[in-house]
Structure 1
Amino acid sequence: MPRITQFLLLLCLLLCTRAPAQTTNSEDERPLTYYLPDLAYDPDIPTPEEFLGWQIGDWHISHDLQQAYMRLLAASSDRITLVEIGKSYEQRPLLNLIFTSPENQGRLDELRELHVNWNAADGGLSENDIDRVPAVLYQGFSIHGNEPSGANAAPLVAYYLAAAPMSEVGKVLDNNIVVFDPSYNPDGLNRFASWVNSHKNKALTADPADREYNEAYPRGRSNHYWFDLNRDWLPVQHPESRARIAAFHRWMPNVLTDHHEMGKDATFFFMPGAPTRVHPSTPKINQELTAKIGTFHAAALDQIGSLYYSGEGYDDFYYGKGSTYPDIHGAVGILFEQASSRGHLQETENGELNFPFTVRNQVTTALSTLSAFAELRNDLLTYQRDFTIGGVTQDGYVIEADNDPGRARELANILARHDLPVQHGGSGETEAYYVPKTPFSEAAFEPILEFEDSLFYDVSTFSLPMAFNLPFRKVSGGTPGDRNWTAYNMEADMPAVDHAAADYAYLLPANDYYSSKAIYRLLDRGVRVKVSDQPFSIGSAANSFGRGTIMVPVVGQSMSAEELHAIITEVENETHLDFIPAGSGTVDAGGLMFGSRSAYQTLRKPEIALIVEGGTSSLDAGEVWHLLDQRFDIPITKLPMDEVGSTDLSRYNTIIMVDGNYRDIGTQGTEALQNWMGRDRVLITTERAGTWAAENGLATIKTRKVANPDSSITQRPYEKAYRDYSGRVLGGSIYQAKADLTHPLLFGMQREEIPLFRTGTLLYEPAKNVYATPLRYSDEPLLSGYSPRQFAKAAAGSAGVIVSSKNGGRTISFASNPNFRGFWYGGNRLFMNAIMFGHTISGSAVE
C-alpha cells in the first residue's frame, strides 16, 4: 500500500472514529459473522467496527460517519471508484461507490458506454455481444430517514464487496458493475439518528411509549423540506432526487433495490407485490424476473430463520417510487420492507425486535440480490434491450406553453431530467415543447380511467401536463412542421430582457408563473406596486395586458426614478421577466386609466406565518415551506401550533393552515386567530383546516356529504371487508374544475378548465354568495385515476375554493391541496395568487 494512502487512512481513522459513549453488554456483542458470511476478508480493508469503535447495531450511524467510512473504503480498495453525485439541501454529500473488479476500474467509461449502447437501436451491438456487455445493479438504502436499518446495513454490504475474496464476489464484479448508494436521504437519516441515539437507554427498554420511539415533528422520514423522497422519483423537485435520477440514467441499471422499513408488528417483505396492482405499462416479463429474484431472497432468509412474505400488500403502480421507477425503463425495481424497531428495541406481536436483527435482514437480502443479479445477468440484459429498443416510435407529444413561459419551462426541465430529448419551438403565444413518445412519457402523460384493482399503495394517476395545467396533444411522425424546433437545454442562459426605463409606469403581465417572485422582490425593496383587475391595451394589440397586470408608477415612490429603474432592472435580471415601460396613464382599449382606484389595487408585502406541528400534515406544510422558500425566495415563519396563542400575530398579514387536526391549538390559540383577523389580513386553509376554521368562526363553509354506495347492502362476507373499505378510499386522482378567470385568485390563468389533484373525499358546498366560489368542479369532473363509486358524481358542482370574510379580513379555503408533492404547478399558481392578491378581493364577493 503506498505511504500516502496509509497516511490518509490513519488520518481518517484518527479524525473520523468516534469512541462509543457506552459499551454493549457481553451477551449483546455481535461478531462480523452475525451479519456476513464467515470468509477470509482482506485484512487491509477496515471493518465498520474497526472504524467506528462499535459494532453496527449498537448505535444508529449518523450520515457523517457513514460517508467517512465509505470514503475510507474507497481509499482502501482497488474495487471502488467513489463519485460525489450531488449534495442534499443541508449540504451533505450524496455518494455513489462504483464497484467492479480492479481490472475493470481502469475502463469504467468504456464499460458504461458498452452498457448504454447495448440498449440503443443504433448502438452498434447485437445479441451476440451480450457476454462482453456488463450488467448494472444499483443498490440504494433508506430513502426514509427513520427507516434506518438499510443505511446501517450499507457499510456492511460495502465492506463485503470491498473485502470478500474474489472467489466469493468475482461472479458479480468480474462481468458487471454495482452502483452503490449508501444513503438516499442524508438529512432525514441524520435527524433520526440524532433522535434515537440521544434517547437511548443503557438498559434498553422495548416499551413503545418510551420517548426514543416517539420522534418529534416532522420526524426523520422526510428530507430537509419535509418531503417524502420516495414519491419524488417522478417529480424530481429536490437535489437528492435530481442527483439520483441523473445517476440512474447515466448507468441505466438492470436492477435497482430500495431498502425500507414498515410497522413493527410485520416481518420482512420483498417484491413482487400484489399482482393485480401493477401499472399496465409494465410488461409481464418484469414481474416474472422480479419473482425469480425473489426466490433468492426467500432462500437466504430461510437460512437465517427470518419470517417473510411477498406477493401482497405493496404494488408496482406509481412510477414515482424507487421500486417502480425502474420498471418503466426496462429495469427491475425491488422493494424491501423490514419490520422496524424504530430505535434499538421494541415489543411486537412477534416478540422483541432489536435493531441488529433488522439490519441483518437487510444485509442478507442485499447479498441475495448480488447472487440473483449475477445468476440472471443475461436475462436482465436481454429484457432491458428488448424493452428499450421496442419502445422507440415516431410518435410524440406537443405541450403548449399556454402563454406561461415559467410554468412550461419547469415541465420541460422535469422531462429533460428523465433523459428525454425535449425540443423547444415558437415564442409568446406559439411557444411549445415536444417530447417523443416512450414507455415513460406515455405513462407520465396519458390519463388512465380503467383499473384491474381498486386498491392502491399510492396515487392512481400522475399525468405531468395536467399537473402543470398545460394543454398537450399526441402527434405522429416526429416534431410537427408548424414551428422551428431546437433541442432544449435546461442549462442554457435565459433570454435577455430589455431594461428600458419608463417615464410614467412599468407594467408586468401576470401570465408568467414567476410573476409573484417579481412582485415580492419589488415590495421587499419598498416599491409601491398596484394590480389591475381589468384587461387593457396600450399602443397596439401587441401590448395587450390581462387581469392581474402589475403597474408600478414612477412618481409617488420613496425613491428617485433612477433608483426605481435600478431596482426594476435588478428584478428583471433575477426573474428574467420583462417589465414594459409606459409613457402615459391613459389606456387605448379596455380597462381604466392608471390612476383609477377602482381598477388598480395597492398590494402589501406578504408577511407569512405557516402553522406547523401538532396535528398538521408535515408533508403539506413542507410543500408550502419549499414553495415559498425555494421557488419564490419569500421568507416565512414556521409557527408551532402550541405557540399561536402566545405569539404576537400582528406582525403577520398572512397565515397559512394546511390539512390536519387543529384541536391542539387550544382556546387561547383559537381566540388569537379570531382577534388577528381584520383588514388586509388573509387566512389560507387547505382541506380539513378549512372545516376547523368554519367551526371556529373564521370561515363560512358547509361540507357536502358523500353517500355510501353500499348503504343498501345488508350482509357481506367477512373476507370482503378490507377490500370494500379500501375501495372507498380516494388515494389520489385528478378532477377538473371550472374557474372564474376574472377573479383575483385566477389572475394570469389562460383557460377556465383547471385540473386539480385530490386525495380524500372531503367536499365543500358552493357558497351562497355567487361570487365567492371562483372555482368549482365540473359536471363530469374525473379526468384521470381511480374514483370511489359515486364520488365523482358527488364532487360535480362542489366548490374547489371558497372565499369568506371576518372582521374585514379574507379566509381563502381550498377544498384540496393545491401544492401536491411540490409539482402541482397549476394548483400552486392559485395558491400564490391567494398570498399576493387575496387581500384585494372585494367585500361584496365573499361569503
Structure 2
Amino acid sequence: MTRSGAMAGAALGVILAFGALGGAIAADITPPDKAFAQPIGSDYFLADYTAYEAYLKTLAGQSDRMKLVDIGKTEEGRTQWMAVVSSPANLAKLDRLKEISRKLAKAEGVSKEEAEKLAAEGKAVVWIDAGLHATETITSQGQIQVLHRMLTAKDPETLRLLDDCVILFAHDNPDGMELVSDWYMRNQDPKTREFNSLPRLYQKYVGHDNNRDSFMSAMAETTNVNKQLFREWYPQIIFNQHQTGPNGMVVFVPPFRDPFNFNYDPLVMTQLQEVGMAMHSRLVAEDKPGSGARSAAPYSTWHNGMVRSVSYFHNAIGLLTEIIGGPTPTTVNLVPDLQLPNNDRPAPIAPRVWRLQDSLDYQMTMNLAVIDYAARNRERLLFNIWKMGDNSIKRGSSDSWTITPTRVETLAAAGKGKPGPYGAAIDPSLYKTVLQTPEARDPRGYVIPADQADMPTVVAFLNALIKTGVDVDKADKAFTIAGKTYPAGSYVVRTAQAYRPHVLDMFEPQDHPHDLEYPGGPPKAPYDVTGYTLAYQMGIKFDRILDGFEAPTSRVPDVIKVAPGAVKGSGSAGWLISHETNASFTLTNRLLKAGAKVQWVKDGAKAGSTDFGPGAIWVPASPAAKAVIEKGVKDLGIDAYAVGGKPSGATIALKPIRIGLVDVYGGSMPSGWNRWMFEQFEAPFQVVYPQRLDAGNIKKDFDVLVFPDGVVPAPQGGPFRAGRAGAQPKPEEIPAEYRAWLGRITDEKTLPKIAEFVKGGGSVVAIGASTRLATALGAPVEIANAKIENGQLKALSNRELYIPGSVLRAKVDPKQPLAYGAGEQVDVFFDRSPTFTIKSDAKGISRVSWFDTDKPLRSGWAVGQEKLKDSTTMLDIDLGKGKIFAFGPEITQRAQSWGTFKFLFNGLLYGPAVSGN
C-alpha cells in the first residue's frame, strides 16, 4: 500500500504506515503521526535526530517491549541510542540472553553439547541499524515506523518474532541525521527542499567514509557500534541499511557478487544467501517488485571496513540493502534490459512515481523478513555462530592453509592446467605438494615484540583489534619461540580464537583475484579497495608463528593505555628524543606551542648506548621545555634522554607553524581524515577554502598548506584522478555563514596565488591526485605512469596499469628530512596514484622514496605493477624560496596508514624551518 500525501488522521495514518497487522494496535503508545511535526513518510518531510531521540524516550516510557540503551557519545557529543526490542519475558532476562549470545559467538571452552543446549535456551539476536549515511534518509525515517510496529502490533507473527528474537535497533550517525534533516527542512517552500547542497560532511570528520572505518574504529560512532556488535551483544545477523537502489529498480538485496574474502568461514556466506533470498521472497509475496541481487549492483564481500562486511570476519551474517527514494517524490525509470526477469532480478517493476512512503513500505517488509528468518532459524543461527567460532579455534590450533588465487595459479602452472571452473584436471598429489607446503601454513599466532621503536603506534594497532572483539594477550615475562627471545611486555595474538578470520585479515596480505569484465578483458573494478592489511599500513613489526607455541601471557581485559615513558639520564644541557615514534610529533607540537626550542640533528646522535638515527630530536634545556617533556613523556609513552651537551653536527631549527588544511564546499573526506589526525597529534591548523587562496597574500596567515587527495581538480582521462567536482549552490541559496566556503581551486586564479605563496617562502604538501600541483607549478618532474596520446597527457589504460587500492612496498632514503624516522623501506597505500620521473637537468629536487622492484605489491591487486619500477613516489622540491612536497601514495589513507604519517608530519615542520632562508 502506498501513500501520496499527509495522513488524514491518527488511526488511518497507523493503518497506512503499517499495513494490515492482523491484530489490535496498542492504544497507550504514541504513534509517529502524533509525535512529529508531520506524519513520518509524508512527502517533503524529514524528522531530525532531536525529534527522533525524544520519540525514543517516549516509547521507552510507554512500552514493556523496549529497553533504551545509551551506547556512547558521537563525535559532536550527541547520545547514540540503541533500542533493545523483545517480549517482556525476554527483556526481564536480558543479561542471561546476552551471556548466551557471547558464549556461543566466542566459542572458547564450549563443547558441542553445551552449544546445543545454549542454542535451545537462547534467542536470536538481530542488529538493524539506520542513518549511517545521513543523506540516505529512508533508513532513519523507516526505523521510526518499524519500531512503532514492533512495540504495538499484537498479531501472531509479531508476537512470535518478539518471543524468539532480541532486536537491536540502533542509529549509526545521529549528527548526520540532525544536519541533513534540518538542512532539508530549512526552506519554507517544500518544492525547494533538498540536501544536495550540504556545506559539509554529514559525519564530523569523514562523511561517507564512516562506513569504511569498521576495522580501524577511529571514529567514536564506529567504536560505539563495534562494542555492541563484537564485545557486548554478538548478534548473529547484522542488517546495515542504505540507499540508493540500482537504476530502473527499487532495491538491491543480497546475495552479493564475487569475489568473497578467503579468510572467513564459508558457512557465513551460505547463510547470507538464505537470508537474502528470504527477503526477496517476502517482497515478491507482498507484491513489491523491483528487487535485485548479485549482478544487479557492484557490491561484493571482499573489504573488511564496512559495517555489514566486518560482520563476516566475526562469523555473523552481514546484510546490505540499497533502496531508492527520499522525501522528494521521484520516479522509477524504465530500463529496457531490466524488464526481463532472471535469477538476480526475479520481479521487474514498471516505471512509476515513487514516494517516500513507498520506500518505507519496502523497508518494513525487509525488516520483517530478516527478523522472521532469525525467529524461524533461531536455534540454527545460534548453533552455527558457535560452529564457525569452534572451526576457527580448531584451525588456529592445528596446521591449516588458506587457498588464495596466487596459490591456485601456482598449482595450475605446476600441473600445466588452467585455473578456474573450466580448467583441466591435474595430478591430485599436487594438492599437498603445492597448496599445503609447510611454509605456506597459516600462522598459529603473531608476536609483536615490546622492544620496537614505536610502541604507541603498536598500542593503537592493538586497540583497533580489541575494539573489534579480538583477544589480545600480553607476556608477563620474557619467552622464547623457535630460538628467538621476546621481552616481557610483548603482545601475542593467537589465531585459535573465534575471530580468527579478522585476525588473519589484519595481519596477512589480501590476495585479490585477477577479476576481469570477461575472459581476456579489462580488470573489473572492485567494490572499494583490494588491499588494506592493517599491520602493514601501520608499520607494525611482528613475527608469524607457524608452529604450536607456549608463552607466559595473560589476556588484555580492555583497550590498552600506552605505558608511560620516562626521562632517562641526568644531563642538564637538554634532551634527545627518537624521531621514530609518531607520538614524537605530538610532543614537538607541544614544545613549539610552549615557546621551547626544538631542532633536528641531521646525522643523528647518541645518548649512552642509545643510537638515534637521522633527524634525532634535540631540545635545549629551558623551564618551558622541562615542563612539557616531563608531562609529555608520561602521557605519550615515549622516552626523553637528558644529556650533558648539545649533539655535534648540523641541525635544522624548527619554528612554530601555521597550517592551512585545504577543504572544499560540501567537504572532502581525505581532508576530514587529515583534520581528525591533526587534532589527535595536536597540530596547529585552520581549514582553508578556495576563496581564501584566491584572495592571495597567503603567507600572512599560513606557513604551510596541505592539499589532501582530490581537492585539486584534474582533467578527466589524465594521470591524476579528478577531484570533487559536484555542482555548488548559488550564494543566495545557502546561509551567509557558509558562503565563504564556495568556490573551486582553478588553474587560472588559484594556482598563481599558490605559486606566489611558495616562491615567497611558503610550503605546500600535496597528497595523491593533488600532486598535480607539482607539475602545474613547474616542478622539474614528469608523470611516470602516464602516456602521451594526440599530444595530451593521459593515464595508462586499466589493461596496462591497474592498482585500485593496494599496499605496495617502497624504498626510502632515511637521510632525507622528509623521511626522518621512517627507515629504509615503507609500505604505502596506492590507489591509482601518480608516480614521477625527475628530469635529467633538474635542480633543487630530492628523491625521498621510490619503487626499486618490479614486484612492489604487498597486499591487494596490481595489474602491470612492473611499470612502476624506478619511478619516484615522494619528492622534496625547491621552488623559489619555498618547498613543494609531493606524496603520490595516499600517506594518510583513512587515518589507517600510521606507517606513513611521518612523511606528512615531517613536511609540516621541515618546510617552514628551511623555507625563505
Please give the TM-score of this superposition, normalised by the length of structure 2: 0.79
> What's 2:870 paired with?
797
Structure 2 residue aligned with 1:569: 630
Q: Distance in 1 between matches of 2:824 and 2:486?
A: 17
Question: Residues 224 and 688 from structure 1, CA distance in 2 versus in 1: closer, same or farther, beyond 3 angstroms?
Answer: closer
Per-residue deviation, residues 582-639 of structure 1 (Å, max 9, x unmatched): 1223x5xxxxx2xx5xx1111011210111116x97111111111101x112232111
Which runs of structure 2 are paired with 1:503-522 in the superposition (5 Å)?
503-522=572-591
Quote how far apart the aligned CAs of 1:348 are: 5.4
**Pair 1:443 & 2:443 matched:** no
Does residue 186 of the first structure (1) align with residue 186 of the second (2)? no
What does residue 4 of structure 1 align with? none
Aligned runs of 1:127-276 on 2, under 5 Å?
Answer: 127-165=116-154, 167-181=156-170, 183-199=171-187, 201-202=189-190, 204=191, 212-220=194-202, 222-226=203-207, 228-249=209-230, 250-262=232-244, 265-276=247-258
Question: Which residue pairs with 1:660 in the alignment?
Answer: 710
Listed one character per residue, the Cα deviations across residues 202-253 of structure 1 (whole Å, up to 9, x for unaligned) are 3x3xxxxx67252234343x44444611111111111101111010021111
- Asked whether 1:307 is paired with 2:290, we answer yes
Tell whether 2:681 aligns with 1:632: yes
- Give the % identical residues: 19
Change over 3 Å in CA distance of 1:353–1:763 after alignment to 2:
farther
Shift in alpha-carbon separation, 1:159–1:511, aligned structure 2, 3 A: same
2:273 maps to 1:291: yes
Q: 1:518 touches 1:571 (CA, 8 Å); kept in 2?
A: yes
Alpha-carbon distance in structure 2 between the residues aligned to 1:143 and 1:278: 23
Equivalent position of 1:670 in the other structure: 751
Mapped pair 1:701 → 2:771: no
The answer for the alignment partner of 2:305 in structure 1 is 320
Partner of 2:618: 551
Q: Do 1:35 and 1:363's aligned partners in 2 also have CA atoms closer than 8 Å?
A: no
Q: Does structure 1 residue 581 correspond to structure 2 residue 642?
A: yes
The equivalent of 2:109 in structure 1 is: 122
Residue type at the aligned position of 1:333 = G
Cα pair 2:279 2:366 within 8 Å, conserved: yes
Tell me what 1:773 maps to. Answer: 847
| Counterpart for residue 377 of structure 1 | 378
Match of 2:541 in 1: 471
CA deviation profile, 1:15-46 (whole Å, cap 9, x unmatched): xxxxxxxx959799982333313231111111
Which of 741, 747, 753 is the aligned partner of 2:825?
Answer: 753
User: d(CA) in 1 for partners of 2:554 and 2:904?
Assistant: 33
Cα deviation for residue 152 of structure 1 reads 0.8
Instruction: Give the equivalent residue in structure 1 for 2:656.
Output: 605
Q: Please report how far the alpha carbon of residue 69 of structure 1 lies from its aligned counterpart in structure 2 after TM superposition.
A: 0.9
Deviation of 1:129 after TM superposition, in Å, equals: 4.3
Q: What does residue 47 of structure 1 align with?
A: 31
Out of 783, 786, 802, the residue aligned to residue 857 of structure 2 is 783
Distance 2:486 2:387 in 1: 40
> In the alignment, is residue 65 of structure 1 matched against residue 51 of structure 2?
yes
Q: Which amino acid aligns with 1:702?
A: E
Deviations 1:489-511 (A, max 9, x none): 53447335248775211222212
* Match in the other structure for 2:767: 686
Letter in 1 for 2:122: V
Q: Quote the offset at 1:810 in angstroms.
A: 0.7
Counterpart residue type for residue 778 of structure 1? D
Task: Sort the Cα spacing of 1:682 and 1:263 in 2 relative to 1 into closer, same or farther, 3 A.
Answer: farther
Match of 1:332 in 2: 317
Structure 2 counterpart of 1:645, one-letter code:
D
1:432 deviates by 3.9
Tell me, what secondary structure is at the counterpart of 2:292? coil
Tell me which amino acid in the other structure corresponds to 2:582: Y
Shift of the 835–71 alpha-carbon distance from structure 1 to 2, 3 Å rule, reads same
Would the alpha carbon gap of residues 515 and 145 (structure 1) be closer, same or farther in structure 2, given more than 3 Å must change? same
CA distance in 2, matches of 1:778, 1:400: 28
Does the C-alpha gap of structure 1 residues 803 and 474 become closer, same or farther in structure 2, counting only changes over 3 Å? same
* Residue-by-residue CA offset, 1:329-368 (whole Å, 9 max, x unaligned): 2211110101243x52235524443323222222221122
Q: How does 1:354-365 map to 2 (within 5 A)?
A: 354-365=355-366
Distance in 1 separating the partners of 2:804 and 2:252: 23
Partner secondary structure for residue 774 of structure 1 = strand
Q: CA deviation at 1:547?
A: 1.8
Query: 1:258 aligns to what SS in structure 2?
Result: strand
Secondary structure of residue in 2 paired with 1:580: strand
Contact in 1 for aligned 2:697/2:757 (Cα 8 Å): no
Identify if the C-alpha distance between structure 1 residues 270 and 668 changes in structure 2 by more than 3 Å, giving closer, same or farther.
closer
Task: Provide closer, same or farther for how the CA distance between residues 494 and 657 of structure 1 changes in structure 2, counting only shifts above 3 A.
Answer: same
Contact 1:507 1:581 (8 Å CA) reproduced: yes
Paired residue for 2:691?
642
SS at match of 1:780: coil
Partner of 1:743: 816
The SS at the match of 1:336 is strand
Per the TM alignment, residue 835 of structure 1 is displaced from its structure 2 partner at its CA by 1.1
Contact 2:874 2:886 in 1 (8 A): yes
CA 48–647 in structure 1, closer or farther in 2 if over 3 Å, else same? farther
Shift of 1:727: 10
SS state at 1:447 partner: coil
Q: Which amino acid letter does the alignment assign opposite residue 497 of structure 1?
A: A
DSSP 3-state at the match of 1:660: coil
The aligned amino acid for 1:48 is P
Q: What number of residue pairs does the alignment pair up?
A: 775
Q: Distance in 2 between matches of 1:553 and 1:227?
A: 45
- Is the CA contact 1:522–1:571 (under 8 Å) kept in the aligned structure 2? no
Distance in 2, Cα, partners of 1:700 & 1:610: 25
Instruction: Return the alpha-carbon distance in structure 1 between the equivalents of residues 754 and 262 of structure 2.
Output: 49
Structure 1 residues 295, 200: CA separation in 2 closer, same or farther (over 3 Å shift)? farther
The question of 1:830 aligning with 2:816 is answered no
Does the 8 A contact of 1:776 with 1:801 survive in 2? Answer: yes
In structure 2, what is the Cα distance between the partners aligned to 1:332 and 1:376? 13
Deviations 1:311-336 (A, max 9, x none): 22211111211221111222111101
Counterpart Cα distance in 2 of 1:840 and 1:668: 28
Structure 2 counterpart of 1:14: none
| 1:474-489 pair list within 5 angstroms | 474-476=544-546, 481=551, 487=556, 489=558
Contact 1:227 1:623 in 2 (8 A): no
